[in-house]
Amino acid sequence: GSTIGILGGGQLGRMMAIAALQLGYRVIGYAPEGDNVAADACSDFITAEWDDAAARARFADACDVVTWEFENVPVSTVAALPEGLVACPAKALEVAQDRLSEKAFAADLGGTPAPYAAVTSAESFAAAIAAIGTPGILKTARDGYDGKGQWRVRSALEAGALAFPGVTCIYEGFVTYETEFSVILVRGADGTIKFWDSTANFHEGGMLALSVLPAGALVEAQVAQARALAGKVADALGYVGVLTLEFFATKDGPVFNEMAPRVHNSGHWTIEGAATSQFENHIRAVCGLPLGGTATRFASIEMRNIVGEDGLRAHAMLAEPGEPHLHLYGKAEAREGRKMGHVTRVGHALG
Ligand code: ATP
Ligand code: MG
Ligand code: MG
């Protein structure tokens, strides 16, 4: 087929669509009303609610294959699309949309999450604090991203002052780690898996700020174990496309944090920095094409997010030394804490 449908309209879809265009595909996007910056790179963009059956039928008719760039597309929307149209089983969304289910899924396959408990009432919150202790983090089980829907709990006193938020949550013990890292893989429809190098990821206010390679000795020592888990997760889901697992590198080994059934912010460096980018390999996987190599092309790489008002002045960065590679997402409004773009800087070329 030659038309790819993308569910979701954010910057991940935009960069996915750019990669698809380069390979000669047409792209049709679908998302509810919003700042759908993927639309600029799409031949057609359907703006409709996820449960709009007529719009969904129009989308399905126009597409040869469907993928997503957003992990919170309702499972019911994906399930309602014609059999065989969606490249990856909806089970991946189902598992990853809920922090409790993704942690249980990873633990079943041998992964180690932080100690955690479900919080569904004031009583179960108190029980979770008693069982796991403080410090910890209370997170909504669903819909959180960029650190939103999270409450740090430093002490039992603080826990006592924090009301149950009224939606299902997870309480996690606070992990003492040296570095955060992510495993990003692509899995083809034939089950072939390739991994990109793992960056060290640095967050500010719960949001990714910076990803760097090399990631350091501790991460390098733990990547094999983290990859083994990520590969098992991908196989168990029958996954097709790019899948990301986030980890904490601790002195006791890699602790699984969460998974994203999609291309990932910490993989943006692959556009310039790897033999094939995460976006291109995602498109290759969903289209059944041979996957490209994932080798890192430079001795050092850093990818920095451009957030909020900085996005309005970002072109000025091009005057800086070191050949910064600038990517802006075309967002109409520079709200505080909003990802507006990113910049990648690379060191000297390898081999
Ligand atoms: P994303 O934007 O990556 O989807 P998110 O909102 O889903 O983020 P998490 O990744 O769970 O949230 O948490 C955001 C950040 O908060 C983590 O990258 C980490 O820096 C910190 N964090 C989360 N959980 C823990 C924990 N249990 N112990 C220590 N730090 C944590
Ligand atoms: Mg998340
Ligand atoms: Mg995260």
Distance 23 CA to ligand 3 centre (A): 30
Comparing C-alpha atoms, which of 2, 1, 63 is closest to residue 30? 63
Percentage of the chain lying above the pLDDT 90 cut: 97
Closest ligand (CA of 264): 1
Residues 116, 101: contact at Cβ < 8 Å? no
CATH topology (fold) of 179-346: D-amino Acid Aminotransferase; Chain A, domain 1 (3.30.470)
Does residue 102's CB lie within 6 angstroms of at least one atom of ligand 1? no
Average predicted confidence (pLDDT) for the chain: 97
Does residue 146's CB lie within 6 angstroms of at least one atom of ligand 1? yes
Does residue 145's CB lie within 6 angstroms of at least one atom of ligand 1? yes
Comparing C-alpha atoms, which of 281, 279, 273 is closest to residue 297? 273
Q: Which residues contact 306 (CB under 8 A, 6 or more apart)?
A: 314, 328, 339, 340, 341, 342, 343
Does 258 show up as a binding residue in the annotation?
yes
DSSP state letters, 253-307? EEEEEEEESS--GGGTTHHHHBSS-HHHHHHHHHTTPPPPP--B-BS-EEEEEEE
Q: 235 falls in which pLDDT band (50, 70, 90)? A: very high
Does residue 137's CB lie within 6 angstroms of at least one atom of ligand 1? yes
d(CA 226, CA 245): 8
Q: Taking 80 as the threshold, does the pLDDT of residue 1 lie above it?
A: no
Q: Which of 257, 259, 305 to mutate to test the pocket of ligand 1 (most atoms within 8 A of CB)?
A: 257
* Architecture of the CATH domain 115-173: 2-Layer Sandwich (3.30)
Determine which residue's CA is closest to atom 12 belonging to ligand 1: 147
**CATH 3.30.1490.20 in the chain, residues?**
115-173
Q: For 183-207, what is the mean pLDDT?
A: 97
205: left (phi over 0), alpha (psi -120 to 50) or beta: left
Closest ligand (CA of 176): 1
d(CA 177, CA 191): 32
Does residue 257's CB lie within 6 angstroms of at least one atom of ligand 1? yes
Q: Which residues contact 321 (CB under 8 A, 6 or more apart)?
A: none
Q: Taking 90 as the threshold, does the pLDDT of residue 305 lie above it?
A: yes
Q: For 160-177, what is the mean pLDDT?
A: 96
Does residue 71's CB lie within 6 angstroms of at least one atom of ligand 1? no
Distance 2 CA to ligand 3 centre (A): 33
Q: Which residue has the tokens 């899995």?
A: 187
Distance 201 CA to ligand 2 centre (A): 14
pTM of the model: 0.98
Q: How many residues does the chain have?
A: 351
Determine which residue's CA is closest to atom 2 belonging to ligand 1: 146
Does residue 164's CB lie within 6 angstroms of at least one atom of ligand 1? no
Residues 198, 266: contact at Cβ < 8 Å? no
Q: 351 falls in which pLDDT band (50, 70, 90)? A: confident
Does 147 show up as a binding residue in the annotation?
yes
42-60 pLDDT, tens digit per residue, is 999 999 999 999 999 999 9
Q: Taking 90 as the threshold, does the pLDDT of residue 306 lie above it?
A: yes
Does 273 show up as a binding residue in the annotation?
no
Does residue 154's CB lie within 6 angstroms of at least one atom of ligand 1? no
Q: For 193-217, what is the mean pLDDT?
A: 97
The residues whose Cβ lies within 5 A of ligand 2, an ion, are 258
User: When comparing pLDDT for 332 and 252, which is higher?
Assistant: 252
Does residue 202's CB lie within 6 angstroms of at least one atom of ligand 1? no
Closest ligand (CA of 339): 1
CATH topology (fold) of 3-86: Rossmann fold (3.40.50)
Does residue 197's CB lie within 6 angstroms of at least one atom of ligand 1? no
Closest ligand (CA of 201): 1
Distance 206 CA to ligand 1 centre (A): 6
Does 172 show up as a binding residue in the annotation?
yes
The phi, psi pair for 64, rounded to 5°, reads -95, -25
